[in-house]
A and B are shown apart, each in its own frame.
Chain A
Amino acid sequence: MTFRSYLLAAAVAAFTFAFSGGAQAHPHVWITVKSDVLFSPDGKVTALRYVWTFDDMYSAFATQGLDKDNDGKFSRAELAELAEVNVTSLEEFNYFTVAKIGPDTLGFGKPKDYWLEMNKDILSLHFTLPLAQPAAQKDFSVAIFDSSFFVDLSFPEGAKVELVGAPATCTAEAIRPQGADAAASKLTESFFDNLSASAQFGSQFASRIVLRCK
């Protein structure tokens, strides 16, 4: 009977395993990221300037009902309220951005110069994300990802990071997550095998900027 109890529990456990995957989902929104790094006159990093371009399906969804004058176009004014909501709500998600100097994570100020733009049914969110304090260039890096993976943020192939006002000695590299070129999606088996909720799981599917100054 004890053996049977074990078997019974094993049957239940095996069964519940079938749906106990936890809080996972696949992305419903894809964002192509363009990110520039802004510098202060004294050569410190002050802000990230983003253009996030959404996929066509989400673009249609997000702009649903916003063409107030029904002219078939979305003016910047018609999209202003949504842009405001976007940057405000993004704070909760830390703008899907982790900026670091070495191992230390940097804080952000409120986004500036933000607007939405609809171009051929494709929506783009422009915003500048200032660092709370200007940061030294040395060992500056940025990782861009949604930890819950509802939103897929990636650099396009061959992406370049523009450095605005940077010392001439600086270069920046845009690094796409490994495997991003191979598949339509960044989800690979090894990605999930290595994924753990504890440390640095985001590093496995983040798009990164690495700054190097001589």
Chain B
Amino acid sequence: MKARRIVRARGVLALILLGCAALFFVAPDVLAQSSPFGAGTPAPTSSGGIMGWILTEQARFFRSLSAAIREAKADGTAVWGLFWLSFLYGIFHAAGPGHGKAVISAYLLADGSTIPRGIALSALSAIAQAITAIVLVGIAALILGATARAMGEAVRVLELGAYAIIVLFGVMLAWRKGKALIQALSRETAPAGHTHDHSHHHHGHDHVHDEHCGHSHGPEPQELAGKDWLKRGLGAVAAVGLRPCSGAILVLVFTLSQGIFWAGVAATFAMAAGTAITVAAIAILAVGAKGIASRLASGGNGAGAIAVRGLEFTAALGIIAIGVLLFSGLLASERMFPA
């Protein structure tokens, strides 16, 4: 009996630690409120040298894009330089903070997956984002002759839609993972010597492993079974893909004004390729972190299962938090000049 209590206490401790980790994840964004200009103008948060370097590179690549577009206009062969720059910009831009990879990686933490699937979701979301920007500028600027302001308003609507999807997606995930967590907790509190009954295991991905799964490495077989991984991850892809990046829109409109819109379209896909690489790298980290967590927690007792379910549930709550902060405007999204 005493041993069981210790196990339970450890499970609780693991949950508290996970909660702290989740706070760490959301806190910098919330703390970013204080600003000399008051609400609506979030201040940059403190950041280490690596993030500073990433931002420097982003700014440098973005700055050189307009010159590359001018060169491409004058000399057709210079488009390759433009594509290469766009690709590098995509890599660095995605390495900076952004909701895209936060949502994708939190999703992968919450709903275990394999590395190839993490890469597939990253690539799909980057391509979707490129297509959104191209369709938006193509229809609004090229066909309708819309103003920057009208495009800005369209982006705002897309953004709010994307943020609403993040919240919904997070709520659905949290509901699923919350149930799994409760299940794991109730097993832990069930009388000793409990032998589990497999008849309720028809929800493959909600399946909770405990004793018999001590050897589990990485994602659990039932979670990965079936073809619905793509369907489940589609919410994440939609949430990321629906919000076009400001850099792509600027490049598209600028190439349009220079009469080489096609080069802007190709450059946008080059950016997406770069973005996909970075987001995929972070997705691999997420899948790896989840794998390590599952392995560490698979100590052959219920506390491990609780810790993993707790991690998944926390990641799902993290997605909700990201969505709510973005939707409410508390977390800054990219803004251009006020217009």
Residue positions of A touching B, CB distance < 8 A:
1-2, 4-9, 11-31, 54-58, 60-66, 82, 85-86, 89-90, 92-94, 98, 121, 147-152, 183-185, 187-189, 191-193, 195-198, 201-202
B20 interface contact, C-beta 8 A: yes
Contacts of B45 in A (CB 8 A): 21-24, 195, 197
The stretch that binds A, out of B30-38, B177-185, B188-196, B226-234, is: B30-38
Q: Is the CB of B24 within 8 A of A11?
A: no
- Give the distance in Å from the alpha carbon of A201 to the alpha carbon of B42 in the complex: 13
The stretch that binds A, out of B117-125, B126-134, B243-251, is: B243-251
B44 interface contact, C-beta 8 A: yes
- Give the distance in Å from the alpha carbon of A1 to the alpha carbon of B336 in the complex: 50
- Give the distance in Å from the alpha carbon of A16 to the alpha carbon of B290 in the complex: 11
Write the nearest CB–CB distance from B159 to chain A, whole angstroms: 14
Write the nearest CB–CB distance from A147 to chain B, whole angstroms: 5
Q: Is the CB of B293 within 8 A of A61?
A: no
Contact of B17 among A5, A30, A195 (CB under 8 A): A5
Q: Is the CB of A23 within 8 A of B43?
A: yes
If A22-B44, A24-B45, A28-B334 touch, does A12 touch B56 (CB 8 Å cutoff)? no
**9 A–B contact pairs at CB < 8 A?**
A1-B303, A4-B297, A11-B289, A15-B285, A16-B21, A92-B40, A150-B334, A187-B59, A195-B46
Q: Is the CB of A2 within 8 A of B13?
A: yes
Query: B6: nearest residue on chain A (CB-CB)?
Result: A1
Contacts of A64 in B (CB 8 A): 141, 146-148, 151, 253, 256-257
If A15-B285, A19-B102 touch, does A24 touch B62 (CB 8 Å cutoff)? no
Contacts of A185 in B (CB 8 A): 56, 59-60, 63
- Give the distance in Å from the alpha carbon of A90 to the alpha carbon of B41 in the complex: 12
B35-69 vs A: 1/0 string, CB under 8 Å? 11100111111111101110110111011111001
Q: Is the CB of A62 within 8 A of B17?
A: no
Q: Is the CB of B43 within 8 A of A57?
A: no
B319 interface contact, C-beta 8 A: no
Query: A150: nearest residue on chain B (CB-CB)?
Result: B335
Q: Is the CB of A183 within 8 A of B10?
A: no
- Give the distance in Å from the alpha carbon of A103 to the alpha carbon of B299 in the complex: 60
- Give the distance in Å from the alpha carbon of A201 to the alpha carbon of B46 in the complex: 9
Give the interface size bracket for B toward A: 35 or more
B202-232 vs A: 1/0 string, CB under 8 Å? 0000000000000000000000000000000
B113 interface contact, C-beta 8 A: no
B174 interface contact, C-beta 8 A: no
Contacts of B109 in A (CB 8 A): 12, 15
Contacts of B35 in A (CB 8 A): 147-148, 197
Q: Is the CB of A60 within 8 A of B299?
A: no
Query: A68: nearest residue on chain B (CB-CB)?
Result: B145
Q: Is the CB of B289 within 8 A of A60?
A: no
Q: Is the CB of B66 within 8 A of A192?
A: no
Contacts of B304 in A (CB 8 A): 1, 4
- Give the distance in Å from the alpha carbon of A196 to the alpha carbon of B28 in the complex: 11
Q: Is the CB of A66 within 8 A of B334?
A: no
If A24-B96, A26-B96, A86-B337 touch, does A16 touch B25 (CB 8 Å cutoff)? yes
Write the nearest CB–CB distance from B26 to chain A, whole angstroms: 8
Q: Is the CB of B41 within 8 A of A7?
A: no
If A23-B97, A147-B44, A185-B59 touch, does A192 touch B141 (CB 8 Å cutoff)? no
**Further 4 A-B residue pairs, CB within 8 A, beyond A8-B296, A12-B293:** A26-B59, A61-B249, A61-B336, A148-B41
B276 interface contact, C-beta 8 A: no
Contacts of B2 in A (CB 8 A): none
Contact of B36 among A29, A63, A82, A202 (CB under 8 A): A202
Q: Is the CB of B332 within 8 A of A5?
A: no
Contacts of B147 in A (CB 8 A): 64-66, 82
Write the nearest CB–CB distance from B135 to chain A, whole angstroms: 16
Q: Is the CB of A19 within 8 A of B44?
A: no
B59-94 vs A: 1/0 string, CB under 8 Å? 110111110011000000000000000000000010
Contacts of B7 in A (CB 8 A): 1
Contacts of A26 in B (CB 8 A): 55, 58-59, 62, 93, 96
- Give the distance in Å from the alpha carbon of A35 to the alpha carbon of B151 in the complex: 30
- Give the distance in Å from the alpha carbon of A11 to the alpha carbon of B115 in the complex: 17
- Give the distance in Å from the alpha carbon of A214 to the alpha carbon of B62 in the complex: 44
Write the nearest CB–CB distance from B10 to chain A, whole angstroms: 5
